Chains A and B, each alone.
Chain A
Amino acid sequence: MTQVTLSGLTKIFDEKSPPAVDQLDLEIESGKLTALLGPSGCGKTTTMKMIAGLLRPTSGDISFDGDSILSIPPEDRGAVMVFQNYLLFPYMTIAENIGFGLKMRKVDRKEIRTRVTDMLDLVQLPGFEDRKPRQLSGGQQQRIALARALIVQPNVLLLDEPLSNLDAHLRDEMRELIRRIQTEMGITTVFVTHDQEEAVVLADRIALLFDGRLQQFDVPDAFFESPQSVEIAKFFGGTNFIPGRYEGGEITTAIGRFRAPRSAVAGGDAVLSIRPEAVTLGADGGNSVMGRIRSHVYVGRYARFRVTLGDIEVEAVTDPGQVKLFNDGDEVPVTFDSNKIWVIGPAAAHE
């Protein structure tokens, strides 16, 4: 069990471009699975390489259990990284690849052999010992890369998009495998992904990174219920935004005034955000305005309506039965559940 702390971690590759990682502060809990989430080029791999000791930070510090590890070479850190592009050693067999870490730790040859066999069973590639990496498909190589890291039972496991090349079914199984091994062995794991759904499903906590800067570090549901900026909410997708002014627990917008007890800001210019599931049609209660149904789709498990409120269009996801109640063009009351409204600071004011 190792707690990993990043403080002010910064990496500047060249002076002319902005830092690849910028003043990153992160407290990665011991024995937990933390996802490093963000769009391509936001500095995820760079951060992982610095933790693994494969890249020297420009400034800032990294500590394991409170002790700075910057001066410790990668082979002695107890942190193993699995690269995005697998990097199986082409001149070695699959067994030699998986056993590499144990060989470096001077584990006895017979034991390596048995543990390699166990690992191959675990990643569902039994009997692959004597193959060469280029004889394997991308997904198979990815699983070997995972096995090669897991076999050494590191204190800190750094996985850089380890599931990107697997089809949906295998991906689910490998997720479960990672989760199971990670909890059983209590390995502090950092998991890079640019897929928000994967991060939500797998992680105890998510660190969201844009342009090398930490946006929000929180439990998964917080990113849906209380995103700290419009950009974050947009990254997780599917939310309605209506600009307005926030004051005394109410937000005034072009289409009306809504009660909104939950907010990220104290007052002033703000954005009302509400997820489509929290928008209801028909029932006229508090927090309602009249709208006109523009279009709808029946998806099966639910129905999705697009409703115009003045100049603004919002999306509502409802019970599938509601498609029978409303026709396109109908005037209906539209209700925003006040406990589901989340008020965010305006987009421009962010950072």
Chain B
Amino acid sequence: MVDTKIEPTAAGAGGVAAEDKERRFSWRITGRWVGITGLLAFLVAPIVPLFVWSISFRWFYPAILPTEYSARAWTEVITPHNDVLGVAWNTALIALVVTALSILLGVPAGRALGLYEFRGKRLVEWMILAPIIVPGLAVVLGIHVLFIRAGLSNSIPGVILVHLVPTLPYMTLVMSGVFANYDTDFELQARSLGASRWATQRLITLPAIFPGVVVGALFAFIISWSQYVLTLLIGGGQVQTLPLLLFGFVRSDPAIAGALSVVFILPAVIVLLLSSRYLSGDNAAVGGIGNI
């Protein structure tokens, strides 16, 4: 995060050097656009057949495109009695709360892991990695009993809590990568110049770790948004989310499943595009993921 590169360009950089720099800059812009277009193609491509499915009525081999089209699936999705929009809203709400909690807990945890040496640090690292390595199902089967006793099963708070099992480790790992490259002397310098603890957090720490927080939050959101097993087990069918709804239709009605998939994937694509500028290779957060 801390950029200590020193450009030796003096006050009056010559015209040649400036031109050269501009050219390099424009290459970077071009590169970025190629990257974004690629990403977009990669993400949107799978949606195309899904969308075609959703509007097809008859589609048999060897026809490349459906022979008859119908808006039935989309009507089903939009009609209130299926409550697809309500479920989508539910899914988003759960994902947003999960993301917020991941940030709130993961940033301080990542800071502790990335910056400080303490006894038992290895153990903590393993405990954080465990839910990522051990299949979620195994973890949840253990947790399930506890949740029933605590009255958390079959409820939205319960689902939110169980989603934290996979998201929190990701957030913590991303942030520990960010903080490993972070020089806390910047905070001390700000304090020494007269900034309060709070002003230092806001003006110095936050801008430095922001890209990392965005990347971590993105992970958390997408993990929660697409969660199937954990939601099914803890939610017990009472808490409906898009993945649950979607899987229900996959065998019974592929056209509706296709329409739902589009609804399901679009927000993820939008979130990803909005944060794409933080996903470049020289981002310490992405580097942190590479360290795992």
Contact = CB atoms under 8 A, between A and B. Distances in A.
Contacts of B197: 73
A350 to B, nearest CB: 35
A134 B3 CA distance: 7
B193 A101 contact: yes
A32 to B, nearest CB: 21
A128 B2 CA distance: 21
B7 interface: yes
A8 interface: no
Interface stretch (A75-83, A227-235, A277-285): A75-83
Interface stretch (B25-33, B92-100, B180-188): B180-188
Contact of B6 (A79, A101, A137): A137
Nearest to B186: A87
A87 B185 contact: yes
Task: Name which of A49, A75, A136 has the most chain B CB atoms within 10 A of its CB.
Answer: A75
B189 A83 contact: yes
A85 B10 CA distance: 19
Contacts of A152: 193-194
Contacts of B2: 90
Contact of A80 (B6, B186, B193, B208): B193
B91 to A, nearest CB: 35
A241 interface: no
Contact of A104 (B8, B186, B193, B208): B193
Interface string B119-163: 000000000000000000000000000000000000000000000
Interface residues of B, number: 28
Interface residues of A, number: 31
B9 interface: yes
B41 interface: no
B199 interface: yes
A137 B204 contact: no
A206 B204 CA distance: 35
Interface in B170-204: 183, 185-186, 188-197, 199, 203-204
B10 A105 contact: no
Contacts of A90: 2-3, 208
A79 B5 contact: no
Given A90-B2, A137-B6, A85 B192 contact: no
A223 B148 CA distance: 77
Nearest to B9: A135
B111 to A, nearest CB: 17
A137 B194 contact: no
Given A101-B194, A152-B193, A134 B186 contact: no
Contacts of A101: 193-194
A342 interface: no
Contacts of A73: 191, 197
Interface in A116-143: 127-128, 134-138, 141
B193 A148 contact: yes
A85 B185 contact: yes
A149 B193 contact: yes
7 contacts: A75-B194, A85-B4, A85-B185, A87-B189, A100-B193, A104-B193, A134-B7
Interface of B: 2-11, 183, 185-186, 188-197, 199, 203-204, 207-208
Given A74-B188, A104-B195, A152-B193, 11 more contacts: A52-B188, A75-B195, A80-B194, A83-B188, A83-B189, A89-B190, A104-B193, A134-B7, A136-B6, A136-B7, A141-B6
